[in-house]
Amino acid sequence: MSKTYKTKLASIPKENFLFGPSPVQYLPNLTTALGGQVKVYAKREDCNSGLAYGGNKVRKLEYLVADAKLKGCDTLVSVGGVQSNHTRAVTATAVASGMTAVTVQEKWVPIDPPLYAETGNILLSRIMGGDVRLNQEDFDIGHKAATEQAFKDVEARGGKPYYIPAGASDHELGGLGFTNLVVELAEQEAAQGIYFDTLVVCSVTGSSHAGLIVGAVAEGKGRKVIGIDASGKVEATRTQVTRIARNTAKLLDPELVIKDEDVILDDRFNAGIYGIPDEQTIKAIEMAARTDSMITDPVYEGKSMAGMIELIKEGTIKPGSNVLYIHLGGQPALNAYSSYFPHN
């Protein structure tokens, strides 16, 4: 990595919400089940923090919450679906920082199973004292009018709000958490004597994917980052990933160039819609759980797991590779999806 890049990244203020580097775990049974020719590991972002089950959003929010505090803000305002992992993480990091949170929870998923708006992530936000506001707006990764109104409401009562876009993504600092993950990973690789030639990550609002791209391009080792779309709106996600990656690169090193071909987004595993699993997703969740007891969710990680499984089976990830599945978290949502897992 360039000296400019590393120096700039290290100079940007961030909070310390994580336990430390998230674990890298070998998955021997999944490796064997997929033929044994590709060694499968997971970077366990789902185990990264003690704040309300952690996850990838907590890593991103280390930078955004630090910025909010520097600006004297007292309230984090953000948006997500009813079962948003992101809004749960926003509430958790706000509480841990002595702030409050207002989260707009929209109807991003056109389903209404039992207790969908009462359990899982939204329950955790309510337990933590978050100001949770439900509305009927549908899925969109862009900026939302209801969040703007929530921002104004905080101002009207004399508070100082800080706006965080969906997924902590389309924000100047949104890509930094996962760019820093690549720095962290390189240190873990050196300590363990391994190199991961391929990273597989779920992509929806885009900054986890984008940050990994920036880190991989900056280090210059030829590491491939494969995004698995779970949005069902592939071109919107591709556009946002590319924009975030280029903005993050420019922030860290003006000479760092992100090419179109650096943004790999596989659209075969999204089930055609955000938030609803198909049979392929369910089978992938069960396979990960029944091999190495690794739990994935129906919205994000089940779809990226399905993608990684197929990429190995079809040979896109070649024999002899070490693949690292970036587990972003999200398991609390499973409680709202029990009807998708029937039992005798």
Specify the pairing of strand 100-106 against strand 322-327: unpaired
Sequence-distant (≥ 6) Cβ neighbours of residue 148 within 8 angstroms: none
User: Which sign, positive or negative, has the C-alpha torsion 63, 241, 317, 280?
Assistant: positive
Catalytic site residue 84? yes
For residues 46 and 54, is the Cβ–Cβ distance under 8 A?
A: yes
Whether 183 and 217 have beta carbons less than 8 Å apart is answered as no
Note whether 328 and 335 are within 8 A (CB): no
Residue tagged active-site, from 84, 207, 208, 321: 84
Per-residue tokens: 333 = 């949502």
How big, in percent rounded to 5, are the helix, strand and coil portions of the chain? Answer: 45, 15, 40
Strand pairing category for 198-203 and 322-327:
parallel
**Pairing label, strands 131-134, 24-26:** unpaired
Biggest CA–CA distance in the chain, Å, is 60
Give the separation between CA 232 and CA 27, rounded to whole angstroms.
29
Q: Which residues, in sequence order, are CB contacts of 192 under 8 Å at separation 6+?
A: 24
Residues with active-site annotation: 84
